Amino acid sequence: MTKLQQFLRSRTLFVSLLFAAACLMTPCLAQAQIVSGANVDECSSTTADYDVEITVCVSGNSLELDAFTEADGGYDPYGYFLEAGVELQIYDGNTLVYDSGFNGGQSASDYVTPHINDYYTVNGILWGMVDPSSSGDFGDTYWTEFSSGNSIMAQITAPTTTLSVATSDTPSTYGSPVTFTATISSGPTGTITFYDGSTAIGTGTISGTTATFTTSTLAVGTHTITAGWPGNSNYSALTSAAITQVVNQAPQTIIFPAPPSPVTYGVSPIALSATASSGLAVSFNLVSGPGSISGSTLTITGVGTVVVSASQAGNANYMAAQVTHSIVVNPATPVINWATPSSISYGAALSAAQLNATASYNGISVPGTFEYMPASGAILNAGTQQLLVFFTPNNSTDYTSASGSVTLVVNIPYSGGPAPATIYSYSITGYAPNGNLLGYTDSVTGAWSNFGYDGVNRLVAGTQAAISGEQLSVSQSFCWTYDGFGNRTAQEIGSQPFTNAAGAACQLPSNATLYSTALANYTAANQISSTNARGVVVTPLYAAAGEIMAAH
């Protein structure tokens, strides 16, 4: 190697090492690190006399790499450096990706589509034509590589981008939709993936600078949510900072239709039904009262108030829920079973043959005490007689008292001749549960009805039906009033039933006719002082002992 070659090599190696060292110590920002996607092309170059100038430019998404030499021929004591040429080499890291070779030219260039963030080393190798004889006649010249030339390191870096994620609602409720919104810098396109921890839960397409994903399937608990974008040839991959999404248990609703209420003791078992909005199974329980529950069937066991509940215990995702209903259970009224007895002859005493009523409810016998009117052993008048029974159950909590009646024909025995005529007969229409007469018919005064009673069971009203063939051609209604001793002080008769309350002053409807009024007045000693009937006033006179002596 001539001293000229050594000299040139020493200069170019020095420059090459200088730039290579700078690139190794720094990311070469001052020389060739260009941000991809810049609005204008940007270049970085090195220059040196009698050496190789290297230019690196960004052109769109490509690197334009050029090598050029200004070295020219000249005299050297050790020979002639006649001409100069250049060779361009490009390395991606340590991998040679382009070599122009030497073709005698003073420039070489190439375009490279780079990988983001890779470092590219560009070498401009100096070649020279040498005449070792120093004669300058080019008779024995040859080309030789003088040096590795200048080097420059270039890097295409993605623009600085950011990615964040936000939630529409935290804490949220299980089953309710939550929307996650990722916000990314302008430029990237495609889809963003949303993660719960390290598990991908969904994706959203970038529209402008945002992408969204909505889900209703997050389990109850605390979730760490991030968003990720995979990057492309222009932009690096991104992962957002994590946010916390809290999902709370959801309330649930129980639909529990109210069972029938009130009911009567002895009612059939009641079927219960309920559903929970969570879809979880509902259970039924007896909270209080006389009853029992098996599965979804309620059985009433006594009188009172039964409280039942429909419950759902909840789970990891749903809170517990309960609904209660009350059922009022009223006592049952037994049915009196009493067949009409066969007729008896006058003079025969009443016995178990006639007084044989029973009590039951829903076909089940109800034990208790039977009180008959007339009682056993009584001898009834001839004719059609009414027998009454009053029943008191042994279980007075679950059953009420009851009454019933039948008719009994009492025949008059006779021997021969025509049957005896009936002198007087009557029949009773019925009795109220407290024993008050509801109405009756007799052979003299006819049929009576609409009986009314005051608070101490005194007869205060009644209606007498018309009697065919008798003087009473129309029905007439009565109203009676009493004093504090219980004496009947007034009687009024009208064409229609009286409308006053029991025990109050007699009051007829406005379109009714008052037939008559009878009054009786009493002294403080409870003696009649006067009577007034049909306008005739009678005043009795009493002896010292209190008996009536006369009246005028």
Which CATH number belongs to the domain containing residue 300 in this structure? 2.60.40.10
Residues 270 and 321 in one domain: yes
Residues 324 and 367 in one domain: no
Counting as low any pLDDT under 70, the low residues of the chain are 1-56, 58-63, 65-83, 116-117, 130-142, 144-150, 155-159, 413-423, 469-472, 533-538, 540-552
Residues 260 and 276 in one domain: yes
Token pair for 525: 């000693």
Query: What is residue 538's predicted lDDT score, i.e. its pLDDT?
Result: 64
Residues 435 and 493 in one domain: no
Residues 95 and 150 in one domain: yes
Residues 191 and 147 in one domain: no
Residues 222 and 276 in one domain: no
* Digit-coded pLDDT (tens) for 304-317: 999 999 999 999 99
Helix H or strand E segment including 46: strand 43-46
* Digit-coded pLDDT (tens) for 488-516: 888 898 989 999 888 788 999 999 888 88
Q: Are 359 and 391 in contact (CB under 8 A)?
A: yes
The model's pTM: 0.47
Neighbour count for residue 382 (Cβ, 10 Å): 18
Query: What is residue 92's predicted lDDT score, i.e. its pLDDT?
Result: 81
Distances (CA, A) of 233 to 95, 114, 310: 20, 9, 62
Token pair for 362: 């829903």
Q: Residue-wise over 210-234: b if at least 16 C-beta within 10 A, else e?
A: ebbbeeeebebeebebbbbbeeeeb
d(CA 104, CA 126): 11
Percentage of the residues of the chain whose pLDDT score is greater than 90: 45
Residues 32 and 170 in one domain: no
Residue 359: half-sphere exposure toward Cβ, Cα within 13 Å:
22
Residues 410 and 515 in one domain: no
Q: What is the DSSP string of 383-394?
A: EEEEEEEEEEES
Domain end (from 330, 347, 363):
330
Token pair for 376: 């056993």
Domain end (from 307, 330, 353):
330
Token pair for 371: 């009180």
Query: What is residue 446's predicted lDDT score, i.e. its pLDDT?
Result: 83
Ramachandran area for residue 486 (φ above 0: left; ψ -120 to 50: alpha; else beta): left
Question: Rounded to an integer, what is the distance from CA 224 to the centroid of its chain?
Answer: 29
Query: What is residue 120's predicted lDDT score, i.e. its pLDDT?
Result: 74
Domain that holds residue 49: 3-157
Q: What is the DSSP string of 101-136?
A: ---S-SEEEEEE-PPTT-EEEEEEEEEEEEETT--S
Token pair for 58: 């960004």
Domain end (from 298, 330, 362):
330
Query: What is residue 484's predicted lDDT score, i.e. its pLDDT?
Result: 79
Token pair for 536: 């005739």
Residues 391 and 518 in one domain: no
Cis bond upstream, residue 331 (ω within 30): no
Residues 243 and 274 in one domain: no
Residues 285 and 355 in one domain: no
The vertex-355 CA angle with 371 and 423, nearest 5°, equals 100
Query: What is residue 76's predicted lDDT score, i.e. its pLDDT?
Result: 44
- Amino acid code (one letter) for 34: I
Query: What is residue 131's predicted lDDT score, i.e. its pLDDT?
Result: 66
d(CA 208, CA 218): 27
Cis bond upstream, residue 374 (ω within 30): yes
Query: With the CA atoms of 25, 65, 43 and 117 taken in that order, what torsion angle do they form, in degrees rounded to the nearest 10?
Result: -50
Look at the chain and report how many structural domains it folds into. Answer: 5
